[in-house]
């Protein structure tokens, strides 16, 4: 079956499923669900409105529910888990990797989490508690504790014999970790080395030191950065005394990378990256109001600035007609700069040295684009209103506002970061405030001084 | 050395490097560069303004230049390569994986690419031409042709012997691919199976069919989706007759995932995902002008709408003071909806069935938030201007505009997608046009009808 067919057939089963759901044909729904990979089931659930989600959830094979939970977003997961009791949660999570179990447990209320933990066998509980001890957004929170370790003084022949006895290796195992008798990390032995080097070599001779172990308290941002930069597939995690705690595999890091990149996009609209597109109406109203409220304050500030010039506007109503153009051009130019700076900050590209260069550059770009568009706008204004002076005033205001926008687009995120506020979240509100206030003030101010 | 120290020391070397660069101390620069991983050198180059980049480039060890090129973004890469001749390019790329070479070649002018290709040995040229035959944004363009293949009828013991003769396996090899005598793909043999299963098993018995081969013409978006959903590390690529062509590894997919997620963020500000923050002033002015020009047209449209009501504004200047509030609240509400819809589209979450549900939901959320904020704004307006009717009018306009914004936020991206236009790029301009026009029209229109 070609991928196109497969893709069609996935879409087809999603549509068929919706049909069956609508007409309440549960047998057909169950059959369709059984044909899907847990990841596809998760995708299907995420694409359903919340009520339909809760109708489907009980039809899903209980043994697969844990894996499905590990694939859905936080927001959707919380919704699905509200109806599950401890026994359900335990059976759903029993076949999962420890890191996925932890992700799920962290979304539960404290007492439910304790109950689920108590019901586990002691080895699994210890492993999971080891991960729970670390913050969710650190290497410790991302890691998986099912690692295969070997000693450095044995030969590859012995390693091969050991692995055959070990049986099925944990998923995505591409490396073994070499530890001493105190469980301290010594190096990484790639499976590709085990199979391609001479069997009489010792582990010490075949192992690699290329991959530095990751400290458990490293932030997930830095972990992702390191995986991306060094094209890693997995990496060992150690505590501060270099004891091996677990490993991080790239599939967990991919989630971090996607979340981070989406974070900037969604934050700039005042949304959270866990935002569920199909969240219930009530929840969405509440969540978005906050952002609207904050923006309203800045809109009132802009209105107040305009109010300062009401007598000027009364005398020359063309000012009211044209003033949104000044504010809007500043807003667009500023948000281009802001978006670039926020992206560069997320990629750790900015430092003390190049910040000044960037500010100077954006200043020049803003001013140059200001001049170009000022001429165009002044010309159109002159044609429209037959008022030469009005054209000059709007042109001057455009130059001032677009230059200010560029400077604000660099300074606001840098300033916010310095005081520990997320620039992606509050940057755009502050920027619009600046471009509105400066734009209205410049245009109406110039007009008051020179025309009216 | 702890990660924090390492991080500090990387920042430290970047700063030290900038210092050395400023004072022209080339020996020190060279020593600092020699201590960096090619990925770190790439990061350093990306963080430098263009002129400094060209000063550094010749100091970098020629043998590492190819790898550095494979890590930098398209925009920066093109800048660095302009000064290199065929011999330079050939020596820089000779140690690279075929997929990385292709990435670099694709950025060269056609005749230079041909020259570099001609200078390669025939096996490498054939491999690279095989990838070049596919579009850059397909599985074929992403794949790497250095795969290790085995036959299905041999035992794992024989596989192990073969691998020892093979020597160093290609980077990130976690699987071997099983093919028949016509090179048709049969299955995947994971190294973890080779080491953990009995040596007397045949490849056929130990291989897995879990991973469906990826057709070479599958889009990189779908490839990324499949890797993410199934937590893959590598996957085989086949042509339409199921002949094995190569493999895709997750490190290449990570780039696709990051680019996609960033695409939405940057497109919404009219920027391209290859945008270099430190691009020269002239280039940036040119690139951003286009977007500003398009936005200017919509700003003039909004101004024209206001112009229709100039006599009303002359009579009641408070309208001019308050009208930006109506437009701004609509713009914010609409962009929240738009951002969510664009994100859901990128994640393939929207289909015919749930689109209607989403439209209905956003309509309700928009109207409900409209009502909430209409009351607040009407109240403040009454307090500010002591005009009860004006408060009612602005409240009504807010409800109309925020509802329209929500509907537009869903319909615009869906409509654009249907006619094959990227919703992330043009969605926000169209949305602002709608919220400006509807906002001004509703507020000034109501006022003309009921107050003035």
The mean pLDDT value for A73-94 works out to 81
What pLDDT, in 10s, does the model give residues B36-69? Answer: 888 888 888 888 888 888 888 888 888 888 888 8
| C-alpha dihedral (B279, A373, B429, A436), degrees to nearest 10 | 100
The mean pLDDT value for A248-258 works out to 87
Q: How confident is the model at residue A414 (pLDDT cuts 50, 70, 90)?
A: very high
The mean pLDDT value for B151-174 works out to 91
CATH of the domain at A126: 1.25.60.10
Mean pLDDT computed over every residue of chain A: 88
What pLDDT, in 10s, does the model give residues A338-353? Answer: 999 998 888 888 887 7
pLDDT of residue B419: 93
Q: Do residues B301 and B427 share a domain?
A: yes
Q: Parallel, antiparallel, or unpaired: how do β-strands B149-150 and B175-179 relate? A: parallel
Report if residue A272 sits inside a domain. no
d(CA A209, CA A220): 22
d(CA A60, CA A43): 13
Range of the domain at A294: 281-450
Q: Does residue B14 contact residue A352 with C-beta atoms inside 8 Å? A: no
Q: Which residues of B touch A275 (CB under 8 A)?
A: 340
> What percentage of chain A exceeds 70 in pLDDT?
97
Report CB contact under 8 Å: A336, B168. no
pLDDT of residue A130: 82
Q: How close is the nearest chain B Cα to the Cα of A297, in Å?
A: 10
Of A268, A325, A333, nearest to B299 by CB-CB distance is: A325
Identify the domain boundary among A244, A267, A290: A267
d(CA A37, CA A16): 16
Total domains present in chain B: 3
- Looking at chain A, which residue has its C-alpha nearest residue B305? A321
What's the distance, CA B242 to chain centroid? 30
Q: Do residues A199 and A339 share a domain?
A: no
Report if residue A379 sits inside a domain. yes
Q: Do residues A256 and A188 share a domain?
A: yes
The mean pLDDT value for B32-39 works out to 83
CATH of the domain at A406: 1.10.357.20
Helix (H) or strand (E) holding A214: strand A214-215
Task: Give the largest Cα separation in chain B, rounded.
Answer: 95
The mean pLDDT value for B187-193 works out to 93
Identify the domain boundary among B233, B267, B301: B267
Per-residue pLDDT at B5 exceeds 70: no
CB of B118 within 8 Å of a chain A CB? The answer is no
Report if residue A276 sits inside a domain. no
> B293 or A171: which carries more pLDDT confidence?
B293
Q: Do residues A310 and A398 share a domain?
A: yes
With 0-12 CB in 10 A as exposed, 13-18 as middle and 19+ as buried, what is A414? middle
CB of A230 within 8 Å of a chain B CB? The answer is yes
Rounded to 5°, angle at Cα B179 from B176 and B182: 150
The mean pLDDT value for B83-103 works out to 80
Of B212, B254, B373, nearest to A228 by CB-CB distance is: B254
Mean pLDDT computed over every residue of chain B: 88
Per-residue pLDDT at B170 exceeds 60: yes
Region at B414 (left for phi over 0; alpha for psi -120 to 50; beta for the rest): alpha
The mean pLDDT value for A387-413 works out to 96
Q: Which residues of B touch A164 (CB under 8 A)?
A: 195-199
| Structural tokens at position A32 | 């369709």
Q: Do residues A248 and A169 share a domain?
A: yes
CB of B243 within 8 Å of a chain A CB? The answer is no
Residue length of chain A: 452
Per-residue pLDDT at B357 exceeds 60: yes
**Which residue has 């035959």 as its token pair?**
B133
Q: Which residues of B touch A365 (CB under 8 A)?
A: 281, 284-285, 288
pLDDT of residue A326: 97
What pLDDT, in 10s, does the model give residues A221-239? Answer: 999 988 887 888 899 999 9
Q: Do residues A193 and A79 share a domain?
A: no
Give Cβ neighbours of residue B161 (< 8 Å, ≥ 6 apart): none
Q: How confident is the model at residue B11 (pLDDT cuts 50, 70, 90)?
A: low
pLDDT of residue A1: 38
The mean pLDDT value for B370-395 works out to 96
Residue of B250, B380, B384 to mutate, testing the A interface (most A Cβ within 10 Å of its Cβ): B250
d(CA A62, CA B254): 32
> What percentage of chain B exceeds 90 in pLDDT?
47
Q: Do residues B202 and B165 share a domain?
A: yes
> What percentage of chain A exceeds 90 in pLDDT?
47
pLDDT of residue A121: 81
Per-residue pLDDT at A418 exceeds 70: yes
The mean pLDDT value for A283-293 works out to 88
CATH of the domain at B253: 3.10.580.10
Report CB contact under 8 Å: A329, B292. yes
d(CA B211, CA A171): 14
Q: How confident is the model at residue B4 (pLDDT cuts 50, 70, 90)?
A: very low
pLDDT of residue B2: 43
Q: Do residues A188 and A256 share a domain?
A: yes
Q: Does residue B138 contact residue B246 with C-beta atoms inside 8 Å? A: no
pLDDT of residue B10: 61
The mean pLDDT value for A382-409 works out to 96
- Residue among A269, A357, A248, A283 nearest A50 (CA): A283
**Which residue has 């615009």 as its token pair?**
B412
Q: Do residues A113 and A194 share a domain?
A: no
The mean pLDDT value for B144-161 works out to 92
Phi, psi of A184 (to 5 degrees): -80, 140
pLDDT of residue B100: 82
Q: What is the DSSP string of A332-384?
A: HHHHHHHHHHHHHHHTT---HHHHHHHHHHHHHHHHHHHHHHHHHHHHHHHHH
Q: How confident is the model at residue A3 (pLDDT cuts 50, 70, 90)?
A: very low
pLDDT of residue A5: 46
Residue of A329, A365, A377, A382 to mutate, testing the B interface (most B Cβ within 10 Å of its Cβ): A365
Q: Do residues A193 and A122 share a domain?
A: no
- Residue among A301, A299, A269 nearest A426 (CA): A269
Sign of CA dihedral B334, B340, B343, B348: negative
Report if residue A143 sits inside a domain. no
Report the range of poorest mean pLDDT among A328-332, B62-66, B384-388. B62-66
Report if residue A247 sits inside a domain. yes
pLDDT of residue A220: 92
Q: Do residues B423 and B333 share a domain?
A: yes
pLDDT of residue A2: 43
Rounded to 5°, angle at Cα A261 from A260 and A267: 80
Report CB contact under 8 Å: B281, A380. no
Of A167, A349, A380, nearest to B277 by CB-CB distance is: A349
Q: Do residues A334 and A421 share a domain?
A: yes
How large is the ipTM?
0.83
Per-residue pLDDT at B245 exceeds 80: yes
């Amino acid at each position: 079956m070609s991928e196109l067919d497969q893709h069609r057939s996935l879409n087809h089963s999603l549509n068929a499923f919706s049909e069956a759901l609508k007409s309440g044909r549960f047998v057909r729904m169950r059959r369709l669900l059984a044909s899907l990979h847990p990841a596809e089931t998760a995708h299907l659930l995420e694409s359903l409105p919340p009520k339909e989600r809760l109708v489907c959830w009980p039809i899903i094979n209980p043994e697969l529910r844990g894996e499905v939970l590990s694939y859905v977003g936080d927001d959707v997961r919380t919704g699905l888990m509200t109806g599950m009791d401890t026994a359900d949660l335990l059976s759903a999570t029993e076949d999962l990797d420890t890191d996925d179990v932890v992700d799920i447990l962290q979304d539960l209320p404290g007492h439910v989490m304790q109950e689920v933990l108590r019901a586990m066998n002691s080895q699994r509980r210890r492993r999971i508690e080891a991960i729970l001890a670390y913050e969710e957004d650190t290497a410790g929170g991302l890691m998986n504790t099912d690692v295969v370790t070997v000693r450095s003084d044995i030969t590859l022949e012995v390693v091969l014999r050991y692995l055959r006895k070990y049986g099925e290796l944990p998923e995505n195992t591409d490396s073994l970790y070499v530890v001493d008798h105190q469980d301290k990390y010594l190096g990484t032995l790639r499976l590709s080395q085990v199979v391609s080097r001479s069997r009489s070599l010792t582990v010490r001779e075949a192992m690699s030191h290329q991959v530095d172990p990751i400290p458990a308290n490293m932030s997930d941002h830095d972990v992702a950065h390191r995986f991306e930069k060094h094209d890693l597939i997995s990496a060992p995690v150690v505590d501060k005394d270099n004891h091996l705690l677990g490993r991080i595999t790239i599939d967990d890091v991919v989630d971090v990378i996607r979340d981070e990149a989406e974070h900037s996009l969604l934050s700039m609209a005042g949304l959270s990256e866990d935002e569920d597109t199909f969240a219930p109406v009530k929840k969405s109203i509440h969540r978005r109001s906050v952002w609207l409220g904050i923006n309203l304050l800045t809109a009132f500030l802009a209105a107040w600035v305009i109010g300062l010039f009401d007598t000027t506007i009364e005398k020359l109503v063309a000012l009211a007609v044209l003033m949104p153009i000044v504010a809007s051009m500043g807003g667009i130019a500023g948000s281009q700069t802001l978006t670039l700076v926020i992206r560069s900050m997320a990629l750790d590209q900015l430092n003390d040295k190049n910040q000044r260069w960037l500010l100077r550059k954006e200043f020049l770009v803003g001013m140059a684009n200001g001049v170009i568009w000022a001429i165009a706008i002044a010309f159109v204004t002159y044609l429209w209103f037959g008022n030469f002076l009005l054209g000059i005033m709007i042109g001057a205001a455009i130059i001032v506002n677009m230059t200010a926008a560029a400077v604000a687009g660099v300074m606001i995120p840098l300033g916010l970061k310095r005081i520990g506020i997320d620039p992606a979240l509050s940057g755009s509100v502050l920027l619009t405030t600046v471009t509105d206030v400066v734009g209205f003030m410049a245009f109406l101010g110039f007009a008051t001084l020179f025309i009216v």
